[in-house]
Amino acid sequence: MYNEVIEDRMTIFLEEDLIAPNVKEFNQFVSENLMDLDELDEVVLNLGSVENIDSIGVTFVIGLYKSVQKDGLGFAIADASDNVRQLFKLMKLEDLLE
């Protein structure tokens, strides 16, 4: 997992599946890297390397979305596979997809 900031947009790249055993590490990364958001307008979660997401992973995405939204920033999910897109549509979260 790593992040990249270009102008006013931070993109977080996940390099592992978004499943329960990985979520603790992801939460720690997010809490360390999203502390000072004053210069950002948007946070993007890039799921290009993610093949599997479980319910804990979906909860992580929703929590990240709520946290970013609370700070008044935009949030989007990028590069999701067709399977991941279908999951988000089933969960009525397709508005988060970029």
Give residue-wise pLDDT tens across range 33-55. Answer: 887 777 889 999 999 999 999 99
CATH number, domain at 34? 3.30.750.24
CB contact at 8 A, 65 and 75 = yes
φ and ψ at residue 41, rounded to 5 degrees: -115, -20
φ and ψ at residue 25, rounded to 5 degrees: -65, -40
Nearest-5° Cα angle at 45, 97 to 41? 90
Instruction: Indicate the number of domains in the chain.
Output: 1
**Structural domain range at position 36:** 2-96
Tell me, what DSSP letter sits at residue 95?
G
Confidence of residue 64 (pLDDT cuts 50, 70, 90): very high
